[in-house]
């Protein structure tokens, strides 16, 4: 048996539940110490983002912990190794089984607590900046909801790889945090449209947009020729106006991107890129995950409400074990 969060109506209950039946080949089991809250968890709880077929129904898309069991054909890990993992579900629990390709060793010098703030946001950042948008050195990024866990990772990675970031967020304290992380342009969304500010900054080659809705048309107005909008969320709604004439003349691309539903092989490629390019920066202290707050798993409802209210700057973590 193990314990996990069960969604029962509007309530989240920490209770006993059945463990996985048998560890598949190519998988490892992790005794979870920390997990984290992501907006995808809020969406799943609301019934608008179901897990992919075959995935765990339990909330939670990233964890850190210790290897508890190793399946056949896994050679990279030993029992007791401290690791962090990208999940398709199952993180709000005491144990999880996950393909070994989605697991990485905790960066040298990192605690399990800090490592839990890495997998989902840094993998999403790398995927969208350097695989989907194929950012080249010197190209410029507009980032919305920039003080989120993802946003704080994007600013650091993009800046480290020579891609200036213009950040939008909903408060001056959040924008100050973005500037400290490396954003060289900022805009408070409560002051109206970002278009003129971004244009005066010099325009951008890519927009990373978790908002959608009315932002799409405004994103187009600040995009340079051959610019890309990578849509990763729908906080502003699923329907949008687009200027197809502008898209045509300026050769814009609108790219929809999710990480969760990708294949194990795809996720494995993203994590190997992270391990090769980003892990050395983490170990060297050039970049680091920004943690807003930690909550015991029994207070997961309060933690999710805190994220839903946009109160966090950086990651919100859930403590599951010692």
The confidence band for 19, taking pLDDT boundaries of 50, 70 and 90, is: confident
Within-domain flag for 265: no
Cα separation, 3 vs 108, whole angstroms: 29
Q: Helix H segments across 223-320?
A: 244-249, 264-277, 279-284, 300-308
Within-domain flag for 53: yes
Within-domain flag for 25: yes
Residue 124 is predicted with a pLDDT of: 97
Beta bridge partners of 3: 16
> Average of pLDDT values for 179-188?
98
Residues 158 and 130 in one domain: yes
Residues 8 and 35 in one domain: yes
Specify the residue for token string 């080949």: 25
Give the number of domains in the chain: 2
CA 302, 215, 151 angle in degrees (round to 5)?
45
- 43-84 pLDDT tens trace: 999 999 999 998 999 999 999 999 999 999 999 999 999 999
Residues 106 and 130 in one domain: no
- 162-182 pLDDT tens trace: 999 999 999 999 999 999 999
Q: Is the distance from CB of 200 to CB of 186 less than 8 angstroms?
A: no
Residue 264 is predicted with a pLDDT of: 96
Cα separation, 312 vs 151, whole angstroms: 11
- 138-167 pLDDT tens trace: 999 999 999 999 999 999 999 999 999 999
- 221-247 pLDDT tens trace: 999 999 999 999 999 999 999 999 999
Residues 82 and 198 in one domain: no
Residues 92 and 203 in one domain: no
Nearest to 19 by CA among 42, 3, 35: 3
Residues 6 and 91 in one domain: yes
Residues 136 and 101 in one domain: no
CATH number of the domain that residue 199 is part of: 3.40.50.720
DSSP letters for 122-133: HHHHHIIIIIIS
Within-domain flag for 308: yes
Within-domain flag for 278: no
Within-domain flag for 272: no
Q: Let me know if 25 is exposed, middle or buried by CB neighbors in 10 A (0-12, 13-18, 19+).
A: exposed
- Both ends of the chain: CA-CA distance in Å? 18
Residues 10 and 113 in one domain: yes
CATH number of the domain that residue 313 is part of: 3.90.180.10
Residues 157 and 248 in one domain: yes
Cα separation, 122 vs 274, whole angstroms: 8
Task: For residue 169, give its domain range.
Answer: 121-256
Cα separation, 217 vs 136, whole angstroms: 24
Within-domain flag for 286: no
The confidence band for 123, taking pLDDT boundaries of 50, 70 and 90, is: very high
Cα separation, 322 vs 319, whole angstroms: 8
Domain end, chosen from 229, 256, 283, is at 256
What lies within 8 Å, CB to CB, of 161 at 6+ separation is: 129, 130, 135, 137, 277
The confidence band for 26, taking pLDDT boundaries of 50, 70 and 90, is: very high
The confidence band for 284, taking pLDDT boundaries of 50, 70 and 90, is: very high
Residues 69 and 90 in one domain: yes
Within-domain flag for 148: yes
């Amino acid at each position: 048996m193990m314990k996990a969060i069960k969604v029962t109506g509007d309530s989240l209950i920490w209770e006993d539940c059945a463990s996985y039946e048998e560890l598949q080949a190519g998988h490892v089991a992790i005794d979870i110490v920390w997990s984290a809250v992501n907006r995808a968890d809020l969406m799943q709880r609301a019934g608008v983002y179901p897990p992919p077929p075959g995935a765990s129904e339990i909330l939670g898309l990233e964890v850190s912990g210790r290897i508890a069991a190793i399946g056949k054909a896994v050679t990279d890990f030993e029992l007791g190794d401290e690791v962090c993992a990208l999940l398709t579900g199952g993180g709000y629990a005491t144990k999880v089984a996950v393909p070994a390709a989605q697991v990485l060793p905790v960066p040298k010098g990192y605690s399990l607590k800090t490592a839990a703030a890495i997998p989902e946001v840094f993998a999403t950042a790398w995927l969208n900046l350097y695989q989907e948008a194929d950012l080249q050195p010197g190209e410029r990024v507009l980032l919305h909801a920039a003080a989120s866990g993802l946003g704080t990772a994007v600013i650091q990675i993009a800046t480290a790889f020579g891609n200036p970031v213009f950040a939008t967020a909903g408060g001056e304290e959040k924008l100050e945090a973005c500037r400290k992380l490396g954003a060289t342009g900022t805009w408070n969304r409560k002051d109206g449209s970002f278009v003129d500010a971004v244009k005066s900054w010099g325009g951008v080659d890519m927009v990373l947009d978790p908002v959608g809705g009315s932002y799409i048309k405004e994103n187009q107005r600040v995009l340079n020729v051959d610019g890309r909008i990578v849509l990763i969320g729908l906080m502003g709604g699923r329907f949008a106006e687009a200027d197809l004439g502008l898209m045509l003349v300026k050769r814009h691309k609108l790219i929809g991107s999710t990480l969760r539903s990708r294949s194990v092989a795809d996720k494995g490629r993203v994590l190997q890129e992270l391990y090769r390019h980003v892990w050395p920066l983490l170990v060297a202290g050039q970049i680091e995950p920004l943690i807003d707050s930690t909550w015991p798993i029994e207070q997961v409802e309060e933690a999710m409400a805190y994220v839903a209210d946009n109160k966090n700057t950086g990651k919100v973590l859930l403590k599951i074990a010692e």
